[in-house]
Amino acid sequence: MKDKDINQMFLSIGIKNTKHRRDIIKILDASNKPLSVEEIYLLLKENNSSINLSTVYRTMEKLIEKNIIIQNNPFNDNIYRYQMCKDKHRHHIVCIKCSKIVEIEECPFKDFEDKIKKETGFDIENHKFEIYGYCNNCKKNKE
Amino acid sequence: MKDKDINQMFLSIGIKNTKHRRDIIKILDASNKPLSVEEIYLLLKENNSSINLSTVYRTMEKLIEKNIIIQNNPFNDNIYRYQMCKDKHRHHIVCIKCSKIVEIEECPFKDFEDKIKKETGFDIENHKFEIYGYCNNCKKNKE
DNA sequence: CCTTAAATGCGAATCGTTTGCATTTTTGTC
DNA sequence: GACAAAAATGCAAACGATTCGCATTTAAGG
């Protein structure tokens, strides 16, 4: 994501444009998997950008509120992970052993949502799907 | 679940048969939704069964290890919830406002899992699916 | 430049969960 | 039943991800 686009984004959602926020957006945008606050914090440090953990947390909160990112459920470790809301709705598969995360091409739940809506009467807003297994490397020695 | 069956279960999985554990199994078995440790703890108290929170936590751990129960992902509150491994694989829909939980009849992901397996090369072990919306009562005033 | 509101850093607090350790209970054997 | 060994429990303290209060700094707009 280019600086110009990032500036434009902050302007359009009406939040202040700070270096920390630009850096965080770049990191999330460049990542091919959801990142935890800790991971973002460490990546920022590597890039010589000194930042406080609470600031990362507060930025996540703000970006969720503005629908720029979404918060994923913890896998099994009680740690939230975050990813950009891309145009396309995405799911991921997670390796139980090495925690490798791979994006899944398609989301097959639209039809299912309609069905559930009829069955339960709920107005459906969102869903989360996570799938677990052993990746190519780890499946040889599942231990 | 009857006492006889519970005793038999503890015997067959090789863990000690204590009143606390029997009580917890009964509560989980009777519940139509996943329960948190806190909820189990309070239900036990109501039934005049004094127990320590850590004991509930340790019982959960043991029952997961023996594949008697499964641990669900936190919804949005960072609290784990637990449910019996019934013969049938289940999912739930959660009301965003009042947290009401309703069981969904069917799990449509078997075919999808096969597809993902081919695409990614993962050996798939498990999946978790959660769906969110407003229940019949709450959808009138979403606020 | 100057003002105001928002963002940040820092440290302390929160809260669900885990752990160490002493005590109690279960289980199997005599 | 009594006994020994292993497992389970209670209790209090520790842990760790996240949140919060508050003083300071920074961005945005006139």
User: CA-to-CA distance for B65 and B101, rounded, in angstroms?
Assistant: 25
Residues 6+ apart with CB under 8 A from A40: A24, A27, A28, A56, A82
Closest residue in A to B133 (Cα–Cα): A124
A75 and A54: one domain?
Answer: yes
Q: How many CB pairs under 8 A join A and B?
A: 114
B78 and B102: one domain?
Answer: no
* Assigned token pair, B22: 């029997």
Q: Given the DSSP bridges, would you call strands A123-134 and B81-84 parallel, antiparallel or unpaired?
A: unpaired
A106 and A81: one domain?
Answer: no
Q: Which of A71, A87, A103 is the last residue of a domain?
A: A87
CB A116 within 8 A of CB B93: yes
CA A96 to chain centre: 19
Range of the domain at A97: 89-143
The better pLDDT of the pair A48, B94 is held by A48
Residue B28 in this model has a pLDDT that exceeds 60: yes
Model confidence over A80-89: pLDDT tens digits?
A: 999 888 756 6
**Which CATH number does the domain housing residue A44 bear?**
1.10.10.10
Residues 6+ apart with CB under 8 A from B54: none
Q: Is A92 annotated as a binding residue?
A: no
Residue B129 in this model has a pLDDT that exceeds 90: no
Residue B143 in this model has a pLDDT that exceeds 70: no
- Taking CA atoms, A44 is separated from A24, A29, A119, B54, in Å, by 8, 14, 46, 38
B24 and B46: one domain?
Answer: yes
The stretches of chain B forming alpha helices (DSSP H) are 3-13, 19-30, 37-46, 53-65, 110-120
Residue A42 Cβ < 7 Å to strand D:
no
Phi/psi at A2 (5° precision): -85, 155
**What residues of A are in contact with residue B105 (Cβ under 8 Å)?**
119
Strand order in the sheet with A81-84: A35-36, A81-84, A69-72
**Which contiguous run of DSSP H or E holds residue A110?**
helix A110-120
B18 and B52: one domain?
Answer: yes
User: CA-to-CA distance for A37 and A64, rounded, in angstroms?
Assistant: 13
A44 and A100: one domain?
Answer: no
Q: Tokens 């850096």 label which residue?
A: A23
Q: Tokens 């989301």 label which residue?
A: A107
B117 and B80: one domain?
Answer: no
User: CA-to-CA distance for B26 and A103, rounded, in angstroms?
Assistant: 40
**What residues of A are in contact with residue B120 (Cβ under 8 Å)?**
93, 102, 104, 135
Q: Is A107 annotated as a binding residue?
A: no
pLDDT for the residue B15: 95
CB A73 within 8 A of CB A32: no
For chain A, list residues with pLDDT below 50. Answer: none
CA A54 to chain centre: 18
User: CA-to-CA distance for B91 and B126, rounded, in angstroms?
Assistant: 13
CB A49 within 8 A of CB A21: no
The contact set of B with A (CB < 8 A) is 71, 73-75, 78, 80, 93, 95-96, 102, 104-105, 108, 112-113, 116-117, 119-136, 139, 142
Model confidence over B47-74: pLDDT tens digits?
A: 878 899 999 999 999 999 998 998 887 7
A57 and A1: one domain?
Answer: yes
A62 and A15: one domain?
Answer: yes
To 10 degrees, the CA torsion angle through A92, A94, A99, A103? -30
**Which CATH number does the domain housing residue B124 bear?**
3.30.1490.190
Closest residue in A to B121 (Cα–Cα): A136
A56 and A100: one domain?
Answer: no
A72 and A137: one domain?
Answer: no
Residue A10 Cβ < 7 Å to strand D:
yes
Number of domains in chain A: 2
Average pLDDT taken over every residue of chain B = 84
Nearest Cα residue to B30 out of B17, B14, B47, B18: B47
Q: Which of B39, B60, B87 is the last residue of a domain?
A: B87
Residue A78 Cβ < 7 Å to strand D:
yes
Question: What's the full length of chain B, in residues?
Answer: 143
Q: Tokens 């000690």 label which residue?
A: B16
